[in-house]
Structure 1
């Protein structure tokens, strides 16, 4: 198990990105959280899961939901964090 922070920028607020991320993470068995950042152009995801499942989530984030326009995805390693489930902040 590992934890990654995924920072997604572009048109990712107001397009159901957080809700879609929640659904995708639960589908993949990933725990963590997703939140809009105050800049209005970014979403931060903290995800804990297997390397394979995290890679699948990162791949999905490159595109996001249908109305999103993803410009950049930045990945950073985080200390292992335990979550009960995946939630929207």
Structure 2
């Protein structure tokens, strides 16, 4: 399954995307993370089950030392195949 997450709070200009990308890669997730023009961050990932979903949410919630996540919205979207986890610009 593929999920799209919209993360709001202090998440741009604080190394949030780098943190998410590095930790998602280490955990074996595939997808991407990118800044949005409205100040939020979008993350899209392939997630196999509920346990892995919780693991990915934990990465998003933790964030970088300078970030502060206030809210995470998510929805399942049509399946997308990814080769790796990357930062998109």
Shared topology, TM-score over 0.5? yes
Cα offset for 1:62? 1.8
Structure 1 distance, partners of 2:2, 2:25, is: 15
TM-score, length-normalised on structure 2?
0.90
Question: Structure 1, unaligned stretches of length 5 or more?
Answer: none
Kindly report structure 1 stretches of 4+ aligned residues shifted beyond 4 Å.
none
Q: Could you say what secondary structure the match of 2:62 adopts?
A: coil
Residue number in structure 2 paired with 1:46: 44
SS at match of 2:55: helix
Note the C-alpha offset of 1:75. Answer: 1.1
Q: How many residues align?
A: 87
For 1:27, the equivalent position in structure 2 comes to 26
- Secondary structure of residue in 2 paired with 1:65: coil
Aligned residue in 2 for 1:16 = 15
Provide the TM-score with structure 1 as the length reference: 0.90
